[in-house]
């Protein structure tokens, strides 16, 4: 069991470039989510999914797209990167939707110049 796998670990982009952050879990978890972590602001929810084919917005969704075509994968797309998106991104999953502990990936450190 690898748990939650995120790639890449580090990425540097120029303003306006696009990229996809990959997230995969092998625990057959129903729920998956993306967070960004900025100093002094904790973890803020970007998008989440309660199952294949179902996604919804979190607290800070602007500038990000997601899709969930399979139970295992939940990629996060930045269509046109901006310096404000410089952050550490974490993917997390849980078995169900309610009162379930989150399992986090190891994170992606993204810098947008």
Q: Which residues bind another protein (CB under 8 A)?
A: 31, 33, 35, 40-45, 48, 50, 58-59, 90, 92, 94, 96-107
Buried/exposed 46-79: b ≥16 CB within 10 Å, e otherwise: bbbbeebeebeebebbeebebebeebbebbbebe
Q: Which is nearer to another protein, 87 or 94 (CB)?
A: 94
Rounded-to-integer distance, Cα 10 and Cα 103, Å: 20
Rounded-to-integer distance, Cα 8 and Cα 47, Å: 19
Tokens of 73: 């994968």
Strand partners, 20: 77
Q: How far is the CB of 107 from another protein (least distance, A)?
A: 5
Q: How far is the CB of 15 from another protein (least distance, A)?
A: 27
Q: Which is nearer to another protein, 41 or 113 (CB)?
A: 41
Q: Which is nearer to another protein, 14 or 62 (CB)?
A: 62
Q: How far is the CB of 21 from another protein (least distance, A)?
A: 14
Q: Which is nearer to another protein, 56 or 77 (CB)?
A: 56
Q: How far is the CB of 99 from another protein (least distance, A)?
A: 5
Q: How many residues does the chain have?
A: 113
């Amino acid at each position: 069991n690898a748990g939650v796998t995120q790639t890449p670990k580090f990425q540097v982009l120029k303003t306006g470039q696009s990229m996809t952050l990959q997230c995969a879990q092998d625990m057959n978890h129903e729920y998956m989510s993306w967070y960004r972590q900025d100093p002094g602001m904790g973890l803020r929810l970007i998008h989440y999914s309660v199952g294949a084919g179902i996604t919804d917005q979190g607290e800070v969704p602007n500038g990000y797209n997601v899709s969930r075509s399979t139970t295992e994968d939940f990629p996060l797309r930045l269509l046109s990167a901006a310096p404000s998106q410089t952050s550490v991104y974490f993917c997390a999953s849980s078995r169900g939707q309610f009162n379930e502990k989150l399992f986090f990936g190891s994170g992606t450190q993204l810098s947008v110049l």
